Amino acid sequence: MPAGRQIRDFVLLAGILVVVLTGANIPAPLYVVYESLFGFKPDLTTLIFGVYAVGALTALLFFGRVSDHLGRRPVLGASLAMIGVSTAVFLTAENVLMLCVARLLSGLAVGLVMASAAAGLTEFAPHGDTHRAAVVSTSASMIGLGLGP
């Protein structure tokens, strides 16, 4: 693969990590609004956050290697589509169940993108620098997690 394309793909994967993790965390500060809007107690907010963890862990444990078999692009495309659907469900949510569905989709998308993007960053690391891939993966994740809220 030409060096220019390899660097472009490396940067693109880091950007996808930032976008998906940002999208997954945008709703976090809105839960106080959802609590008053839908009339539920803070205990349910904890449940909604927990549903996200279930989705992320499910994706990592059961589908973490799917991009090794299907390819990085299809899995990353599915992750981006899933985070888009999750956002749409959040925007149209009318009850706690819809918030849980949105959060589950969000967790699944994050788990899928984390596994495939991390593997892709390692593959596309300039000069095979796996340390750089790990630093960029971690940095992109933290930037996305911070930008969301």
Give residue 1's pLDDT band: very low, low, confident or very high (50, 70, 90): low
- The percent of residues above 70 in pLDDT, for the chain, comes to 99
Which long-range contacts does 99-105 make (Cβ < 8 Å, 24+ apart)? Answer: 99/34, 99/38, 99/48, 100/47, 100/48, 100/51, 102/27, 103/27, 103/48, 103/49, 103/51, 103/52, 103/55, 104/51, 104/52, 104/54, 104/55, 105/55
pLDDT in tens, 3-57: 788 889 899 999 999 988 998 888 888 888 888 888 888 888 889 989 999 999 9
Whole-angstrom distance, CA of residue 142 vs CA of residue 147: 8
Residue extents of the structural domains in the chain: 3-147
Q: Which residue has the higher pLDDT, 2 or 141?
A: 141
Looking at the predicted structure, is the pLDDT value of residue 77 above 70? yes
Give pLDDT, residue 43. 87
**CATH superfamily of this structure's domain 3-147:** MFS general substrate transporter like domains (1.20.1250.20)
Give pLDDT, residue 5. 86
Looking at the predicted structure, is the pLDDT value of residue 64 above 90? no
Looking at the predicted structure, is the pLDDT value of residue 107 above 70? yes
- Beta carbons of 48 and 96 less than 8 angstroms apart: yes
pTM for the complete prediction? 0.88
Looking at the predicted structure, is the pLDDT value of residue 62 above 90? yes
Give pLDDT, residue 15. 93
Give pLDDT, residue 85. 94
